[in-house]
Amino acid sequence: MPSIFSKIVAGEIPAYKVAEDANFLAFLDISPLAKGHVLVIPKQEVDYIFDLDDDTYTGLMVFAKRVALSIKKVIPCERIGVTVMGLEVPHAHVHLVPMSSMGDMNFAAEKLSLPKQEMEDIARAIAAGFPDK
């Protein structure tokens, strides 16, 4: 059965997309730790990040870096935190979280619930800042 992320890639489930190319997709987390929390995935469904082939793994990280640079341009923060947990959805993914303190990366903390319009505005702003290469 396809993961929820594969359904997003296929267009079966909507997402607040911020960047996309032939192999990777980045979209806002719908239960974010912070405004601008983005998930970056390979379009190929592979459960565990370290099961990705080397080219896909390095491509994912380079793509995530480009997304992080775009987030940093539009979301006030000191850094963009990066984490891979991989237990919540069986599809390799990287979390990019705007942060100004270590506590901002606490995945046990209560998640934000942002209105649709705000999510759309954040996604549009990040997408506008996404570097071409």
- What number of helices (H) and strands (E) belong to the chain? 3, 5
Is residue 63 a contact partner of residue 124, using CB atoms and an 8 Å limit? no
Cα 98 to Cα 20, 32, 53, 68, 133: the distances in Å are 20, 10, 28, 9, 21
Active-site residue flag, 93: yes
Q: Just list the catalytic residues.
A: 93
